[in-house]
Amino acid sequence: MSLELLGISVLWIFLFGYLIVGSIDFGAGFFSTYSEWTGQKHILHKIIQRYLSPVWEVTNVFLVFFFVGIVGFFPKTAYYFGSALLVPVSISIILLAIRGSYYAFGTYGAKDNKLYSFLYGVTGVLIPASLTTVLTISEGGFLDITDSGVHLNLGALLSSPYSWSVVLLSLVSVLFISAAFLTYYAHQAEDRKAEQLVRRYALGWSVPSIAAAILVFYALRSHNPEHFARMTDLSWMFVVSLVCFLLAITLLYKRRSYGIAFSAVMMQYFLAFLAYGISHYPYLLYPVLTIYDGFTNRTMAIYLVIAFIAGLLLLIPALYLLLKLFLFNSKYVKGMK
Amino acid sequence: MEYDAVLYSRILTEMTLGFHILFATIGVGVPVFIALAQWMGLKHNDPHYLLLARRWARGFTITVAVGVVTGTAIGLQLSLLWPSFMETAGQLISLPLFMETFAFFFEAIFLGIYLYTWDRFKNPKIHLLLLIPVVIGSSMSAFFITTVNAFMNTPQGFDIVNGAIVNIEPLKAMFNPAVPTKTAHVLVSAYMTSAFMLASLAAYHLLRGRKHVYYRKALRITLIPALVFSIATALVGDLSGKFLAEYQPEKLAAAEWHFETEGEAPLLLFGMVDENQNVSGAIKIPYALSILAGNMPSTEVIGLNEFPEDERPPLYVHYLFDVMVTLGMLLIFIALVYAVLSKWKPQHMYNKWLMRAVLISGPLSLIAIEVGWIFAEVGRQPWILRGYMKTIEGATSSPHVGTMLIAFGILYILLGIGSIAVLRKMFKKNLPEDELAARGN
């Protein structure tokens, strides 16, 4: 495998990691706030808090890891995306900052502050929407590239059916992934009431998530026909992804094996996102930047790969410990510790 | 003000970093003291120290949260505001940036575990051991990110041939000449600042008339290390002066209003300077600058006039340098008075005036950190990559920096107010005496 391909694969894995842990986090925040509005906070709050408290910081690092990595492996992305995305990414940063800190303020400091909980819940759904702009822009067609620099054509972005369909997909996916995970978690905690509630959410958001995905296909077909054509070559992956989805909702519907159901949801997104990534190859930013012309020098790439492997040797046992203590420890999950 | 993307980008970066380093400094130093308190508590089976560790850790989570989110902001702003700089420098500095993220990841995982496993392990030492990766992670991330900043001051490990960067040596770039003094200064000053901040809290309670031995122990466990770290900070500061004389003479010359190259150079304290380089009202310490630069009164110190006018830093950095050094000396003095009294005149060690001084020592050390960083950063203007790229060449051409400046300004005000309000609320009604009583001590 070439270093370029290795680099982008590593980053892709971290982006997928963020997609999952971030979705759980954002969706959980939204459900927590929503349950407050509907007077069901007592059902959901504790279970969500118990999961999020030890891991929220780690979730954030997945994102940092991705953007530090992409600038490291592909410094030219800093130029193109950095120049163009000042406004949308700054909005994401501000939302993330409000959400992260007010989560901590609410959890560790002031108990039951309505404002904090509102900010936490609302930013949770706005962040995925603002972050997906980066993916949308990578399809090309939204940037004015001249000698004086790279500028985002905000009008084109806001009037594009493609960009709105991606936003929609990200929103419903966040809610679906999160609800599927929380169903599993609540079941582990033997918290029947919470389990029932989030199971309903998961089933409720399942159909919209598939509908939104189909919408994205259609919008992409007119926005970037070349990419769409490559995606149809990989249609078998999308079909397997759909099978995973059907398995997940069947299990959720029959109230069986929530662990497998959530794994199936992860597989569903893994395959769809992988197929999306493969068909995007070799472009980082269509059609001006490929992974080959945007790549860093070979020496640095080799050092980065070594640092990456060394880092993983340190991280994987640590992450395992974290999961073992808080996710797969039935006493902790049930709130006995 | 007329729209100027470079100026606005600079202000926004200053604002983000200026806000972030307050929390980052605490984030690097406080885990060390939590570990110290918990270790003392276990060693002497002393519930006071154990409670100190608990309470510090509780407040720490708030500062970590704000540190994490503002750190994410500056991480992304590097590319958003300085895209051309990152495109170039990204090929040289991505190794330490990457490693910084790993260190941060490591810290985040263990901090999460630490905070949620009080009383969970049968052997309390295991819980203490969890702090080791937290301390290593936070100090290492400070180390790695400082090497990036050091690289911007003394770039090396590459050649430029026809405008292209070639012959890259990532380790040489990372371990550049500014690294030893810069990272040492950053680390010890962070430990020092955290020590004074925590001491300030104890002094506040003692001044309010609370006499519980808990506060006295808190003062002792922070102020004695504060003395050590503040002296270490000053010693490393002296080494930094020698480093500047050798590698960045224009920064030292601007800091000291030293215009002509000469030996037996005096150090100037305070004073004013006019556009004709006439200095008035300054206190002159003969030979001191030469000694700072090279340990000998005869050492020749390069003057600012050796540099073209468009490569000189602004002269106001002198005031920043003065404030930093003065505050550093004052902090050493405060900690020293406490240490001397506790050894020889313990009946006066809780003297009201000393406690007032300790109370302000925390905020003063934060000011010293801010001023020191502004001095270091403005002192390398006009360069973003000294000798290679000017700040003006690295900035974005986006027309929206002004709007973002306002948006982030509001954000930092909200975060600042929020964290102060929450920290006050956490501790105001929940006094350690009550907590000790509730725990049966």
- A114 CB contacts (<8 Å, ≥6 apart)? A36
Most B-contacting residue of A53, A65, A81, A101 (CB-CB within 10 A), to test interface: A101
Collect all residues of chain A within an 8 Å Cβ-Cβ radius of residue B87.
75-76, 78-79
| pLDDT the model gives residue B234 | 92
HEC string for chain A: CCHHHHHHHHHHHHHHHHHHHHHHHHHHHHHHHHHHHCCCHHHHHHHHHHHHHHHHHHHHHHHHHHHHHHHHHCHHHHHHHHHHCHHHHHHHHHHHHHHHHHHHHHHHHCCCCHHHHHHHHHHHHHHHHHHHHHHHHCCCCCEEEECCEEEECHHHHHCCHHHHHHHHHHHHHHHHHHHHHHHHHHHHCCCHHHHHHHHHHHHHHHHHHHHHHHHHHHHHHHHCHHHHHHHHHCHHHHHHHHHHHHHHHHHHHCCCCHHHHHHHHHHHHHHHHHHHHHHHCCEEECCCEECCCCCCCHHHHHHHHHHHHHHHHHHHHHHHHHHHHHCCCHHHHCCCC
Measured distance CA(B257)–CA(B265) in Å, rounded: 11
| pLDDT the model gives residue B1 | 61
First to last CA, chain A: 46
- CB of B398 within 8 Å of a chain A CB? The answer is yes
- B258 CB contacts (<8 Å, ≥6 apart)? B252, B265, B268, B289, B301, B303, B304
Question: Is residue B45 classed as helix, strand or coil in its secondary structure?
Answer: coil
Measured distance CA(B171)–CA(B139) in Å, rounded: 19
| pLDDT the model gives residue A309 | 84
Beta-carbon neighbour count of residue A221 at 10 Å?
Answer: 15
Residue of A288, A108, A51, A144 whose CA lies nearest to B63: A108
- A193 CB contacts (<8 Å, ≥6 apart)? A43
Which B positions 412-431 lie with beta carbon below 8 A of chain A? 414-415, 418-419, 421-423, 425-426
Q: Please, which pLDDT band fits residue A110 given cuts at 50, 70 and 90?
A: low
Measured distance CA(A171)–CA(B14) in Å, rounded: 34
- B250 CB contacts (<8 Å, ≥6 apart)? B302, B304, B307, B311, B312, B313
Buried b (16+ CB within 10 A) or exposed e, B322-345: bbbbebbebbbebbebbbebbeee
By residue count, chain B amounts to 441
Measured distance CA(A275)–CA(B70) in Å, rounded: 34
Which A positions 188-217 lie with beta carbon below 8 A of chain B? none
Measured distance CA(B317)–CA(B371) in Å, rounded: 9
| Chain B residue closest in CA terms to A311 | B102
| pLDDT the model gives residue A103 | 81
Residue of A153, A138, A147, A53 whose CA lies nearest to A104: A53
Question: Is residue B415 classed as helix, strand or coil in its secondary structure?
Answer: helix
- CB of A76 within 8 Å of a chain B CB? The answer is yes
Inter-chain contact B426–A109, Cβ cutoff 8 Å?
yes
Task: Using the predicted structure, report yes or no on whether residue A329 has a pLDDT greater than 80.
Answer: no
Query: Dihedral sign, CA of A164, A167, A169, A175?
Result: negative
| pLDDT the model gives residue B184 | 95
User: Do residues B30 and B417 make contact, with C-beta atoms less than 8 angstroms apart?
Assistant: no
Measured distance CA(A315)–CA(A10) in Å, rounded: 14
Task: Using the predicted structure, report yes or no on whether residue A303 has a pLDDT greater than 90.
Answer: no
Each residue's pLDDT tens digit in chain B (441 positions)?
677 888 888 999 999 999 999 999 999 999 999 999 999 999 998 888 988 998 899 889 889 889 989 999 998 998 888 888 888 888 888 889 888 988 988 888 888 888 888 877 788 888 889 899 999 999 999 999 999 999 998 888 888 887 777 788 888 888 999 999 999 999 999 999 999 999 999 999 888 877 778 888 899 999 999 999 999 999 999 888 888 888 888 888 888 888 888 877 888 888 888 777 777 777 888 777 787 777 788 888 888 888 888 888 888 899 999 999 999 999 999 999 998 988 888 787 788 898 899 999 999 999 999 999 999 999 888 888 777 787 887 787 778 888 889 999 999 999 999 899 888 888 887 777 777 777 776
Task: Using the predicted structure, report yes or no on whether residue A109 has a pLDDT greater than 80.
Answer: no
Q: Pick A303's closest partner by Cβ from B83, B95, B426.
A: B95
**Alpha-carbon distances of A121 from A39, A175, A255, rounded to whole Å:** 15, 12, 27
Which B positions 101-130 lie with beta carbon below 8 A of chain A? 101-102, 104-106, 108-113, 115-117, 120
| pLDDT the model gives residue B441 | 65
Q: Pick B407's closest partner by Cβ from A55, A90, A151.
A: A90
| pLDDT the model gives residue B233 | 94
Beta-carbon neighbour count of residue A180 at 10 Å?
Answer: 32
Measured distance CA(A28)–CA(B280) in Å, rounded: 63
Inter-chain contact B108–A85, Cβ cutoff 8 Å?
no
Mean pLDDT value across chain A: 83
User: Do residues B187 and B203 make contact, with C-beta atoms less than 8 angstroms apart?
Assistant: no
| pLDDT the model gives residue A137 | 83
Q: What is the mean pLDDT of residues A53-65?
A: 81
Choose the most confident range, by mean pLDDT, from A96-100, A144-148, B279-283, B333-337: B333-337
Which A positions 150-169 lie with beta carbon below 8 A of chain B? 150-151
Collect all residues of chain A within an 8 Å Cβ-Cβ radius of residue B419.
101, 105
Which B positions 77-96 lie with beta carbon below 8 A of chain A? 77-84, 86-88, 90-92, 94-95
Measured distance CA(A176)–CA(A170) in Å, rounded: 10
User: Do residues B379 and B253 make contact, with C-beta atoms less than 8 angstroms apart?
Assistant: no
- Note if the bond before A54 is cis, omega within 30 degrees: no
User: Do residues A179 and A23 make contact, with C-beta atoms less than 8 angstroms apart?
Assistant: no
Residue of A93, A129, A125 whose CA lies nearest to B411: A93
Angle in degrees, CA B344, B347, B350, rounded to 5: 105
| Chain A residue closest in CA terms to B55 | A108
Inter-chain contact B87–A75, Cβ cutoff 8 Å?
yes
* Number of Cβ pairs < 8 A linking chain A and chain B: 220
Measured distance CA(B306)–CA(B252) in Å, rounded: 13
- CB of B344 within 8 Å of a chain A CB? The answer is no
Collect all residues of chain B within an 8 Å Cβ-Cβ radius of residue A303.
95, 170-171
Q: Pick B168's closest partner by Cβ from A85, A87, A297.
A: A297
Q: Which residue has the tokens 């003062």?
A: B219
Collect all residues of chain A within an 8 Å Cβ-Cβ radius of residue B110.
318
User: Do residues A47 and A185 make contact, with C-beta atoms less than 8 angstroms apart?
Assistant: yes
Q: Please, which pLDDT band fits residue A1 given cuts at 50, 70 and 90?
A: low
Angle in degrees, CA A109, A113, A118, rounded to 5: 120
Question: Is residue B40 classed as helix, strand or coil in its secondary structure?
Answer: helix
Distance from CA of B295 to the nearest CA of A (A): 39
ipTM of the complex: 0.85
The radius of gyration of chain A from alpha carbons, rounded to an integer in Å, stands at 20
| pLDDT the model gives residue B163 | 73
H helices, E strands: number in chain B: 15, 8
Collect all residues of chain B within an 8 Å Cβ-Cβ radius of residue A304.
94-95, 98
Measured distance CA(A328)–CA(B204) in Å, rounded: 43
Residue of B286, B289, B234, B235 whose CA lies nearest to B257: B289
User: Do residues A337 and B120 make contact, with C-beta atoms less than 8 angstroms apart?
Assistant: yes
Percent of chain A at pLDDT > 70 equals 98
Dihedral-angle region of residue B45 (phi above 0 means left; psi in -120 to 50 means alpha; beta otherwise): left
Collect all residues of chain A within an 8 Å Cβ-Cβ radius of residue B171.
303
**Alpha-carbon distances of A282 from A138, A140, A277, A295, B275, rounded to whole Å:** 12, 13, 9, 12, 57
Inter-chain contact A86–B397, Cβ cutoff 8 Å?
no
- Please state which of the ranges A37-41, A109-113, B108-112 shows the lowest mean pLDDT: A109-113
Most B-contacting residue of A64, A304, A325 (CB-CB within 10 A), to test interface: A64
| pLDDT the model gives residue B144 | 95
